[in-house]
Amino acid sequence: MRHFAVVGSGPAGFYTAEALEKAYGDQARIDILDRYPVPYGLIRFGVAPDHQSLKAVSKRYDKVADSAGVDFIGNVCVGRDISVSELLDLYDAVILATGAPHDRKLGIPGEDLPGVVGSAEFVGWYNGHPDFADLNPPLSGTHAAVIGNGNVALDCARILSKTRAEFEGSDIVGHALDALDRSEIQTVTLLGRRGPHQIAMTPKELGELGHLEAAVPVIEPADFPPVAADEPLEPGLRKSVSLLRAFADLATDKPKRIVFDFFAKPIAIEGDGRAERVIVERTVLDDSGAARGTGETYGVPASLVISAIGYATSPIDEVPFAAGKFVNERGKIADRLFAVGWARRGPSGTIGTNRPDGYEVADQIAAALAPGSSGDRAGAQGLKRLLAERAVMATDYDDWRKIEQTETGRARPGSPREKFVRHQEWLQTIGR
Ligand code: NAP
Chain segment 365-417, per-residue pLDDT in tens: 999 998 887 677 999 999 999 999 999 999 999 999 999 888 876 655 555 66
In contact, 58 and 15? CB cutoff 8 Å = no
Q: Which atom of ligand 1 is nearest the CA belonging to 353?
A: 32
Total length of the chain: 432
What are 292-321's pLDDT values in tens digits? Answer: 999 999 999 999 999 999 999 999 999 999
pLDDT tens, 224-252? 999 999 999 999 999 999 999 999 999 99
Choose one of 52, 121, 193, 280 to mutate for the ligand 1 pocket test, by most ligand atoms within 8 angstroms of C-beta: 193
User: pLDDT band at residue 223, thresholds of 50, 70 and 90?
Assistant: very high
Q: Dump pLDDT digits (tens) for 108-164.
A: 999 999 999 999 999 999 999 999 999 999 999 999 999 999 999 999 999 999 999
CA of 375 to the centre of ligand 1 (A): 45
List, in order, residues 6 or more apart from 205 with CB less than 8 Å away. Answer: 151, 154, 155
Closest ligand 1 atom to 311 CA: 26
Q: Tell me the sheet residues that pair with 165.
A: none
As a whole number, mean pLDDT of residues 62-87 equals: 96
- Do 69 and 18 form a contact (C-beta atoms < 8 A)? no
Alpha carbon 147 to its chain centroid, in Å, reads 16
> 128 — phi, psi (to 5°)?
80, 30
DSSP SS3 for 402: helix
Dist. CA 347 → ligand 1 center (Å): 9
- Ligand 1 center to 291 CA (angstroms): 15
Prediction pTM value: 0.95
Cβ atoms 336, 92 nearer than 8 A: yes
Amino acid at 256: K
Share above pLDDT 90 across residues of the chain, in percent, rounded to a whole number:
90
Strand order in the sheet with 28-33: 70-73, 28-33, 2-7, 93-96, 337-339, 332-334
Average pLDDT, the chain: 95
**Count of H-run helices and E-run strands, the chain:** 15, 19
CA–CA separation, 240 and 204 (whole Å): 8
Give φ, ψ of 157 to 5 degrees.
-65, -40
- Compute, in angstroms, the gap from residue 319 CA to the centroid of ligand 1: 26
pLDDT, position 177 = 94
Residue nearest to atom 13 of ligand 1 (CA): 309
Which residues, judged by CB distance below 6 Å to any ligand atom, belong to the binding site of ligand 1? 51, 106, 147-153, 155, 192-194, 198, 200, 202, 205, 266, 308-311, 347-350
Distance between CA atoms of residues 191 and 81, nearest Å: 40
State the Cα–Cα distance between residues 339 and 327, nearest whole angstrom. 9
Question: Which H/E stretch holds residue 20?
Answer: helix 11-24
Q: What type of residue is 149?
A: N
The rounded distance, in Å, linking the Cα atoms of 33 and 80 is 13
Q: Which amino acid is at 394?
A: A
Phi, psi of 139 (to 5 degrees): -120, 15
Q: What is the pLDDT of residues 28-48, one digit of tens each?
A: 999 999 999 999 999 999 999
Taking only the tens place, the pLDDT of each residue in 180-197 is 999 999 999 999 999 999
Q: How high is the pLDDT of residue 418? A: 74
